[in-house]
Amino acid sequence: MAIPEHFRTNFQTLLRAAADKALALMECNDAVTGEPRYVLCAVGRDKGAYVMTPFGHLADGNPYEAYLPPDVPGGPQSAIDPASEGPGAVAASSGTRRKRARRPT
């Protein structure tokens, strides 16, 4: 599956904003549910005013449980265990879930 060009363009914009140290994490409200969302934004200027361009929100809960890798022949997607509980559950042997190591404090 190829990533659409407009997503590639947005990603390049996000990388430039990061290089320019022009990123912000804003607390916003979901337009449908009203629930709080924490949104990654590029920060720009227009005639002296700040302009925030939202790129996406941070995942609630464990992002390793929210997303599956792309379906490639023989890849981790083929290891989905249909007998497991819940949508998107991945068989333990697939190795697609990792826990992020904590830095020593």
CA distances from 63 to 19, 58, 96 (A): 25, 9, 12
How many angstroms separate the CA atoms of 62 and 39, rounded? 17
Residue 3's identity, in one-letter code, is I
Residue 104's identity, in one-letter code, is P
The DSSP element (H or E) to which 95 belongs, if any, is none
Q: What is the pLDDT of residue 88?
A: 46
- Chain centre distance of CA 51: 22
Other C-beta atoms closer than 10 Å to the C-beta of 42 total 19
Model pLDDT for residues 16-55, shown as the tens digit of each residue: 999 999 999 999 999 999 999 999 999 999 999 999 999 9
Model pLDDT for residues 54-95, shown as the tens digit of each residue: 999 998 889 888 888 877 665 555 555 545 544 444 443 334
